[in-house]
Amino acid sequence: MLNLAPLLAIACFYFSYFAFNGLFSPYWGLYLTSLSFPAWQIGILTSLTQVNRIYAPTLWGWLADRRGSRQGILRIAGIAGLIFFIPLLFVHTFWPLFFTVLLASFFWSASLPLVEATAMTLLSGDGGAYARLRIWGSVGFIVATVIAGYLMQHQGVATFPWAVVAVMISLALFSWQVPEAPVAQKNDSISEKLMDVLKKSEVQVLLLSCFLMALAHGPYYSFYSIYAAEYGHDKSAIGWFWTIGVMAEVGAFWLMPKLTGRFSLKNLFLFGLAMAVLRFMAIAWGMGSLILLVLAQLAHAFTFGSHHAVTMAYIHRHFTGSNQTRGQALYIAASFGLGGSLGGILAGLLWKPLGGQWVFSLAALIAAAAWFLARRGLNSTPTIQA
């Protein structure tokens, strides 16, 4: 029988961690716009949290596996992330903001792969149970997005840095509550075979497909709110657009045990990529239509919710023993790190010459390329353990 106390601590961590995302994803770009930054600088600054995910999770994951412990590193990451985000309260120019977010996100990005590996260890790799635990992150995202939207609508976007620091305080506190979970020691026979895992064609296709999926999402996470504001939607409405997407994500996480009991990993993965193509085309050409906007946000259930849960099951299947944390870190680095940061930077460079319609159309094309790659390269695997 599962001990619920450790899972409750992880649920609270997820709530706070993704509450931070619920602030940064919708409102960071709007805050930078209020400071009169040009699009290319906004693209860089909105991508910094993703840039650190390229290398920082791998570094922290290697350190955790080498030490045989995750808890101490997680606590350091929580406190240091809070300390380095505090300068957001008083810096307002490009280079000070650049180094503030770069340093803070170096520590912030360390925590998720450590907690993900701990959660999957405690749940014995049960993808369905993981999805329902991960729901609390989506709830945190929703709460932060809605409250911050109304707060900034009535008090002004200058309240954004204060909201970020408040959320980081809670994240630092809950980082101390996440329990330790066994990490296979260096003498584990599996620990020396990481390169063998990476040589598997399915693993390579999986990581490349996740990279392309995150690349396609780059314009969404960096410029969706700006694009919506250009069409006259106010901040509270934009907050609700994001909330609809995450509410759909919650539904997908809750239904994952049933979905994965009926459909294979590959089919769910391909469906998420196909929905991404339709979603980004709807955003590109339907920003003036409330119906298309709502449908596009509902698709988040599959472009992130089921996609992430299925990928977690693939990663846990291929990266075992002392490779667990490094496997999680590599997934985050390849997708949210390299793919997300490059997507945001490219969107910033292309936003002015091409405009939002063609930038999001390119995102749809990239998602289509990922679909063709995954269709040819992923095995027809059985269902996730549910």
CA distance 205 to 211: 10
The answer to whether position 79 is within a domain reads: yes
The single-letter DSSP state of residue 383 is: P
Position 131, amino acid = A
CA 337 to chain CA mean position, Å: 9
CA distance 40 to 174: 35
CB 100 within 8 A of CB 91: yes
Q: What sign for the dihedral angle of Cα 49, 55, 61, 67?
A: negative
Question: Where in the sequence is the domain holding 170, given as residue range(s)?
Answer: 4-180+193-377
Place of tokens 């459909």: 263
In this structure, the number of other CB atoms found within 10 A of the CB of residue 204 comes to 12
The answer to whether position 201 is within a domain reads: yes
The answer to whether position 260 is within a domain reads: yes
pLDDT of residue 88: 95
Question: Tokens at residue 26, please?
Answer: 């919708």
With a CB cutoff of 8 Å and minimum separation 6, the contacts of 358 are 284, 350
The single-letter DSSP state of residue 323 is: G
Instruction: Provide the CATH number for the domain around residue 217.
Output: 1.20.1250.20
Q: What is the pLDDT along the chain (386 residues), one digit of tens a residue?
A: 456 778 888 999 999 999 998 898 889 988 999 999 998 999 899 888 878 878 887 787 777 767 767 778 888 889 999 999 999 999 999 999 999 999 998 988 878 878 887 887 788 766 667 778 888 998 998 899 889 988 988 888 899 999 999 999 999 999 888 887 655 554 444 444 778 888 899 999 999 999 999 999 999 988 999 999 999 888 888 888 998 998 998 899 888 888 888 888 899 999 999 999 999 999 999 998 999 999 999 999 999 989 988 998 888 788 877 677 778 778 888 898 899 889 999 999 999 999 999 999 999 999 999 999 999 999 865 444 43
| 36, containing H or E segment | none
The answer to whether position 256 is within a domain reads: yes
The answer to whether position 187 is within a domain reads: no
Q: How many domains would you assign to the chain?
A: 1
The answer to whether position 384 is within a domain reads: no
pLDDT of residue 383: 47
**317 HSE (CA, 13 A, CB side):** 18
Return the percent helix, strand and coil in the chain, to nearest 5: 85, 0, 15
The answer to whether position 12 is within a domain reads: yes
The answer to whether position 101 is within a domain reads: yes
